[in-house]
Structure 1
Amino acid sequence: MFVREMSREECQGVVAAGDLARLACCRGGQPYIVPITYAHSGKAFYFFSMPGQKIDWMRSNPKVSLQISEFASNRRWKSVVVTGTYRELPAQGCGNERLHAWSLLQKKANWWEPGGLKPVPQEISGASAHIFFCVEMDEMTGRAACAGEQ
C-alpha cells in the first residue's frame, strides 16, 4: 500500500462528494468526536444540532477538527482533515447565513438525524432548541492510500 499527500483540489473533491463528517472537539484535555451531516460553501462548513455535549464543549473551546473520508477498501481510501473555529448562527442577527445553512443542508438526505436525534426522550419545549452552526476553516489537508507500491 502507498500513502500520499492529496492536493487541495483533491481534498475539495472529497469534501464536495461527502455529507458525513466526524466532528472533534475538546474540553479540559478530554477529546470528544461525533458523526454529523455537513454542507460546505467556501471556507465554511454548516451543521445542525440540538443542545447537548458537543455544543457545550464547542462553546467553551471553539477550536475544532473535522475528518471526512472516502473508503473503498482497507488499501484504498482518502481522508481529509479540516481545522477551524466553531461559530453559532443565532436566529436573530444572523438570519441570512442561518437560512443559507438550512438551504444547503436540506439538500442532504436525512440531514437533521445525526444532530437532532437523542438516545433518550427529550422534554418538549415551546421555544425552538435547534442550533445551526458553522466551522470556519483554517486549514485543510488530506492523504490517500492506494493498493500497490510507488
Structure 2
Amino acid sequence: MALKLRELSQGECYGILEHARFGHLACCRDGQPYIAAIYFSFAGDVAYSFSMPGRKLDWMRANDKVCLHVEHLPSGGGWTSIVIEGRFQEFPDNGLWHDERVHAWSLLQRHSNWWEIGSLKPAELPVLSEPPHVFYGISIGALSGRSAGRDD
C-alpha cells in the first residue's frame, strides 16, 4: 500500500502541537544554521521551553527568527510533520516577565523530566550569583503541517 500525502489544516496542526512534547529547534547566526532538540509545551500561539546558557540561546538572542519542527511517527506507519516559523522571546527573571515565566514553568512542569534536555551540558558550568536557566517562548508567525498515511 502506498502512502497518501496531505496538507494539515491549521486546526489539525494546533491539535497535534497541544499534545506534542519534543521537537527540533532551528536557528541561524551569520548565515550558519544550527538545530537542537528541545522539550516544549504549547499553549495559545506559543511553544514554551527552557534552556541553560549556550549556543542555542546565544544564536536566538542574536537572531530571533527561528523554526520549530515537530514530528509524530504512528506505530501503524506513516508520519506527521509540523513546522512553526516564529520568533524567540526570552522571559528574564524580573518583574516585567514574571507572569510569562511562571506560565512557562507551569506548563512545562506537567511533564516528567521536562528540564532534562535544557539543563544537560557536556561540561561543568561556572558557579553564578543567580540561576542560569532561561525560560523562553517561540511565537508562531507561520504554521504548516503534512501527514502521510496508508491509503486503505
State the TM-score, normalized to the length of structure 1: 0.94
Percent identical residues: 42
The AA in structure 1 aligned to 2:43 is S
Letter in 1 for 2:109: Q
- Matching of residue 82 in structure 1 with residue 84 in structure 2: yes
Task: Establish whether residue 134 from structure 1 lines up as the match of residue 137 from structure 2.
Answer: yes
The more displaced of 115-124 and 86-95 is 115-124
Pair 1:105–1:30, CA change in 2 (3 A): same
Shift of 1:79: 0.4
Task: Name the counterpart of 2:43.
Answer: 41
Match of 1:10 in 2: 12
Q: Which amino acid aligns with 1:110?
A: N
Q: Residue 68 of structure 1 is aligned with which of 70, 95, 112?
A: 70
Tell me whether 1:113 sits opposite 2:116 in the alignment: yes
Structure-2 separation of matches of 1:99 and 1:73: 35
1: distance between equivalents of 2:37 and 2:29?
18
Kindly indicate whether the alpha-carbon contact (under 8 Å) linking 1:89 and 1:131 is maintained by their aligned counterparts in 2: yes
Segments of structure 2 that go 5 or more residues without pairing to the other structure are none
With 118-127 and 56-65 compared, the bigger mean Cα shift is at 118-127
What 5-or-longer segments of structure 1 have no aligned partner?
Answer: none
Please give the alpha-carbon distance, in whole angstroms, between the structure 1 residues aligned to 2:124 and 2:93: 25
**Secondary structure of the structure 1 residue equivalent to 2:74:** strand
